[in-house]
Amino acid sequence: MLPNYLKIAWRNLVKHKSYSFINIGGLSVGMAVAVLISLWIYDELSFNTYHRNYDRIAQVLQHQTSNGKIYTGPSVPFPLGKEIQTHYGSSFKYVVMSSWEGEHILSSGDKKVAKTGNFMDVDAPKLLSLTMLKGDDNSLQDPNSILLSESSAKALFGKADPINRLLKIDNKLAVKVTGVYEDIPYNTKFNGLAFVAPWDLYANSENWIKRDRDESRWDDNSFQLFAQIADNTDFATVGHRIIKAKFNNVSQNDKKFNAEIILHPMSNWRLRSAWENGQNTGGLIDYVWLFGFVGGFVLLLACINFMNLSTARSEKRAKEVGIRKAVGSLRSQLINQFFSESLLVVVLAFGMALLLVQLILPWFNQVADKQMVVLWASPLFWLVGIGFTLFTGFVAGSYPALYLSSFQPVKVLKGTFRAGRFASIPRKVLVVIQFTVSLALIIGTIIVYNQLQFSKNRPIGYDRNGLMMIQMKSPDFYGKFDVLRAELKNAGVVQEMAESSSPLTDVWSNSGGFDWPGKDPALDPDFATIWATHDFGKTVGWQLHEGRDFSRSFTSDSSAIILNESAVKFMGIKHPVGTTIRWGQGSNAKEYRVIGVVRDLLMQSPYEPVRQTVYLMDYSNVNWIDLKLAPNKSPGECVAVIESIFRKYIPSAPFDYKFADVEFGKKFAIEERIGKLATFFAGLAIFISCLGLFGLASFMAEQRTKEIGVRKVLGASVANLWSLLSKDFVLLVMVAFGIAAPIAWYLMTNWLDQYEYRATISWWIFIVSGVGTLLITLLTVSFQSLKAALMNPVKSLRSE
């Protein structure tokens, strides 16, 4: 019977080409969206699974309480690794201290490349389950060794064997290549790890960030710690054991922060990375659920098209059903027939969907920042694909099969069968569902973009245009600032330049231990701390609110401090200029005098309030060179001259620079990605909905051809007929808008709640969405409505 069912199904598809095109086209687009989102979800859920011990690896985090709020972060003190190994070693298989991943200069002879890497304990290759191409996972035992990724080895040595070759890190640390590992895949936290060097090399090297090297400092949270728990235990048990590992070792004064050590499993790094007051509040997992629902809804829209067009054409199939029942067909056989037709349509649509996915995937990867591929060779992919096809066929074909197979043969064959006045209600309900989903997606997309623009337009307190940043990655940079500044200014390519401890788009240091007159004893002062040189304010163009800037005219400025507005508000000082602030404890304490207050500089998240910040003048504790390019020359011209001068004085380092506006723009990457994807899915949703609407309008115009002819003969105008055929669809869209608007408002209000600095949901968003969708609907149905209205009534009434 199945070949016969499929043969009849094929004949129906060929006979009604326009409806077949709408059904197959709509379903293929819906299925393509579902496949793309499934690939994206699979990639997210499989993030970090490259590491063999993925389910037993964790990063050590700490909770700290300050001013009544619990803050959670990955920065830990130097001694914590040894403390855990010594007192809790039986609970762990590997404990690996690590520096922060950063870019360093690797040089071999005249060959110099900038690569991102970490300094990690000797068990790092085992913890990360690196696939060693040369050497083994014990190759980091030598304190002067280095492991290179395959691509790094090729960049430095070409096809030559890199083993035992000598390198220098940042033109200072001499190391020997003892191993080469396979490049880590893109969908892991460590995907950019180009080299791994020994932790002891980092810890014992002279002049290597001196402030961070004190092994006994429990108050300096400047490092990372990764661990793999023992096979006979679990995260909850181990986490409970080590929770006081830091608290038990800090000074009495620091116990007020109530430090708690916790384990954050690798399986949660990607999807559950958000923390609020000591509780994990989700993260990207929210978007996995969101886009999963979006994919399901878009597929549902395509299935609704199939249902609507199949049931709308019920009178066309009524006689076929009547004859089949009259000659003995059972209802189950008719149901099988109609399911076969839907399955054939879905199979063809799935084939087209895979083609669409293959064509769209490069663009989708670029937008989603992925490297996904269709898993053609995976049996699981095809098994899931078959199941997906059968499920879609069942969903799309269930209602038409049950509805069409229910016709009574006596009524059908006597010619008295009519669909009835209520037969169109299910179709109208389905159309309302379609446009409710589409409108909700459109409203949500506009709100995402509105929030994005609101944050981008937020005052940042300085002029980031033409601001260049160069990180001082090796000791060769230090001591060259004055000569660089003099030559660059003489060349006319920089307006001003200075040095700072942090990049202009981030804050690398936070400090406590501040005291001032009138300070609330219950307040735990924690400030973003930036050390800078003279002319930093002129370089970045900050705005003085009161007082003055650092100046070479005042030798006392080495003990001066500048506050931002948030710091003044936090401290509760009415007249800050001239106030003495004490920083430190005991004999290490030093007094600073406030000389100025500047407008808040937005250097961190554009979605959060600016943190209280102190600026101090210091030429020794700086890591970045900040340059304001000359406005009368093009950036390209300026960069070329700057590069030549830097290479002249610092030939050992590659010239690597960043622009502040570009780096600041990267802070919006996730929201921009979500906005682009939401726009893409919303566009496809409205396309699928309008495709179905076009098919329904075409059928209704065909069904009412004689009625239209009679109305024209009786004097109805084209406008009257257009209104007659369009008003039902307009009404359905208005009902859908009434449902979608409150749903979208509720969902997007919850989404915006995650941002402290957020836009309001304005009324115009709903008006634009509703009117826009209404216009698209009118354009969609007007083609068929006007075509029917303009038809010669003689042709439509000829058979009468």
| pLDDT reading at 729 higher than 60 | yes
- Which of the pair, 734 or 404, is modelled with greater confidence? 734
- Which of the pair, 124 or 338, is modelled with greater confidence? 124
| pLDDT reading at 413 higher than 80 | no
Is residue 395 classed as helix, strand or coil in its secondary structure? helix
pLDDT given at position 208:
47
How much is the average pLDDT of 389-393?
83
| pLDDT reading at 577 higher than 80 | yes
Rounded distance between C-alpha atoms, residue 537 and residue 544, angstroms: 9
How much is the average pLDDT of 125-133?
94
- Per DSSP, 142 falls in state S
- Which of the pair, 429 or 96, is modelled with greater confidence? 96
Handedness of CA 238, 241, 246, 249 (dihedral sign): negative
- Per DSSP, 498 falls in state E
Residue type, 743: I
**What's the gap between Cα 299 and its chain centre?**
23
| pLDDT reading at 16 higher than 80 | no
Rounded distance between C-alpha atoms, residue 796 and residue 798, angstroms: 6
pLDDT given at position 786:
67
CA 221-224-228 angle, 5° bins: 135
pLDDT digits (tens, 9 = 90+) for 578-627: 999 999 877 778 999 999 999 999 998 888 889 999 999 998 889 999 99
Q: Are strands 173-181 and 145-149 parallel, antiparallel or unpaired?
A: parallel
Rounded distance between C-alpha atoms, residue 567 and residue 563, angstroms: 6
Tokens of 279: 């509780």
**What's the gap between Cα 94 and its chain centre?**
31
Phi-psi label, residue 792: left if phi above 0, alpha if psi -120 to 50, beta otherwise: beta
Is residue 622 classed as helix, strand or coil in its secondary structure? coil
How much is the average pLDDT of 434-440?
87
User: Which residues is 66 bridged to in the sheet?
Assistant: 69
Phi, psi of 118 (to 5 degrees): -130, 150
pLDDT band at 324 (very low <50, low <70, confident <90, very high): low
Tokens of 551: 């100046």
pLDDT band at 569 (very low <50, low <70, confident <90, very high): very high
Tokens of 302: 């395509």
pLDDT given at position 211:
44
How much is the average pLDDT of 512-539?
89
Tokens of 698: 């075409």
pLDDT digits (tens, 9 = 90+) for 203-231: 887 544 444 445 678 888 889 999 999 99
Residue 721: its H or E element:
helix 718-752
Rounded distance between C-alpha atoms, residue 601 and residue 530, angstroms: 12
- Per DSSP, 186 falls in state S
How much is the average pLDDT of 457-465?
88
pLDDT given at position 243:
94
pLDDT given at position 212:
46
The secondary structure of 670-735 as a DSSP string is HHHHHHHHHHHHHHHHHHHHHHHHHHHHHHHHHHTHHHHHHHHHTT--HHHHHHHHHHHHHHHHHH
- Per DSSP, 658 falls in state E
How much is the average pLDDT of 233-259?
90
Tokens of 122: 């000797």
CB within 8 A of 73, min separation 6: which ones? 61, 62, 64, 221
Of the candidates 466, 391, 419, the residue with the CA atom closest to the CA atom of residue 660 = 466
Q: What is the 3-state secondary structure (H, E, C) of 219-287?
A: CCEEEEEEEEECCCCCHHHHHHHHCCCCCCCCCCHHHHHCCEEEEEEHHHHCCCCEEECCEEEECCHHH
| Mean pLDDT, the chain, whole residue set | 85
Rounded distance between C-alpha atoms, residue 195 and residue 212, angstroms: 21
The secondary structure of 29-57 as a DSSP string is HHHHHHHHHHHHHHHHHTTTTTSTTGGGE
Least confident of 190-194, 256-260, 474-478: 474-478
pLDDT given at position 614:
95
Rounded distance between C-alpha atoms, residue 318 and residue 310, angstroms: 12
Is residue 607 classed as helix, strand or coil in its secondary structure? coil
Using CB atoms within 10 A of its CB, is residue 208 exposed (0-12), middle (13-18) or buried (19+)?
middle
How much is the average pLDDT of 414-434?
65
pLDDT given at position 2:
58
pLDDT band at 684 (very low <50, low <70, confident <90, very high): confident
Rounded distance between C-alpha atoms, residue 12 and residue 341, angstroms: 8
Residue count (the chain): 800
- CB 114 within 8 Å of CB 105: yes
How much is the average pLDDT of 704-727?
70
Rounded distance between C-alpha atoms, residue 34 and residue 42, angstroms: 12
CA 645-649-653 angle, 5° bins: 95
Residue type, 2: L
pLDDT given at position 316:
60
The model's pTM is 0.82
> In the chain, helix, strand, coil percent, each to 5?
50, 20, 30
Of the candidates 505, 523, 504, 503, the residue with the CA atom closest to the CA atom of residue 513 = 523
- Per DSSP, 601 falls in state P
Among the ranges 269-273, 424-428, 711-715, which has the highest mean pLDDT value? Answer: 269-273
Q: Are strands 69-73 and 57-66 parallel, antiparallel or unpaired?
A: antiparallel
